[in-house]
Amino acid sequence: MTIIKLGVNIDHIATVRQARKGFEPDPAAAAVIVELAGADSIVCHLREDRRHIQDRDVYVLKETVSTRLNLEMGLADEIIDIALKSKPHQVTLVPEKREELTTEGGLDAVQFKEKLQKIVPVFHQNGIVVSIFVDPERDQIQAAKLVRADMVEIHTGRYANAKNAEDVRVELHKLAEAAMMARNVRLGVAAGHGLNYRNVGPVTKIMEIEELNIGHSIISRAVLTGLERAVREMKEAINRKNY
């Protein structure tokens, strides 16, 4: 049985911090705990609107992450500059719209072929592995190969949002086909988006998938499973009385 790696997206640690624009919780502290728990990489998305991860986080994470830092990013020049300066181990190129709540689909690697052909070698010259987040479609996988990406991350959002058993089956089949296509052209294969504790199982049966990137459901669970201890510790702090 092959072991599937887990990349943990810690954006929403920063989302909570940005609610107060203060210092806690710190994504770098979260990354240490995530790594101690066994994660294989740390993922964060530096969005153009800086709604969660800030520029400084990327630099601090690059210094502190001991596994791999996978920086999700759009194709804006300003963000590309930061990636080239901070030199994460890997970038995952994603589409980005300001008004979206989260990344809504794969990057259209066919449409952005020329831009990708220019930028992928620049990342490579800087020692950065390039992954492209794509929908599970043949022409997207082919375009990712054409622009010399090292790997693809297959978008699992439509599978995760499927409303009935038949749609789940259809979407799972698309994921499996896309993973096989990618493997056949020697691209590394990751997958992610919308995966949670209930829907991850069937995806793990797709043999070509080497890594899953998961964020929201892990951070959501952490908030709930950690809440009891957090309240107990505050009660202790209030009642310590020996200040």
**Catalytic annotation on 193?**
yes
- Beta pairing partners, 44: 71
Q: Which is nearer to ligand PXP, 176 or 219 (CB)?
A: 219
114-148 residues labelled b (16+ CB within 10 A) or e (exposed)? eebeebbeebeeeebbbbbbbbbbeebbbbbbbbe
**Catalytic annotation on 45?**
yes
CB of 62 to ligand PXP, least distance (A): 18
Q: Which of 12, 45, 52, 155 is catalytic?
A: 45
CB of 238 to ligand PXP, least distance (A): 34
Handedness of CA 107, 109, 112, 117 (dihedral sign): positive
**Catalytic annotation on 72?**
yes
Q: Is 241 exposed, middle or buried (0-12, 13-18, 19+ CB in 10 A)?
A: exposed
CB of 215 to ligand PXP, least distance (A): 3
Q: Which is nearer to ligand PXP, 49 or 228 (CB)?
A: 49
Q: Which is nearer to ligand PXP, 95 or 146 (CB)?
A: 95
Q: Which is nearer to ligand PXP, 145 or 193 (CB)?
A: 193
CB of 202 to ligand PXP, least distance (A): 16
CB of 175 to ligand PXP, least distance (A): 13
Q: Which of 35, 52, 72, 171 is catalytic?
A: 72
For 233, the token pair is 């510790």
Q: Which of 12, 52, 155, 193 is catalytic?
A: 193
By Cβ distance, which residue is nearest to ligand PXP?
A: 215
Q: Which is nearer to ligand PXP, 161 or 233 (CB)?
A: 161
Residues of this chain that bind ligand PXP (CB under 6 A)? 9, 11, 45, 72, 92, 94, 102-103, 133, 153, 192-195, 213-217
Catalytic residues, which ones?
Answer: 45, 72, 193
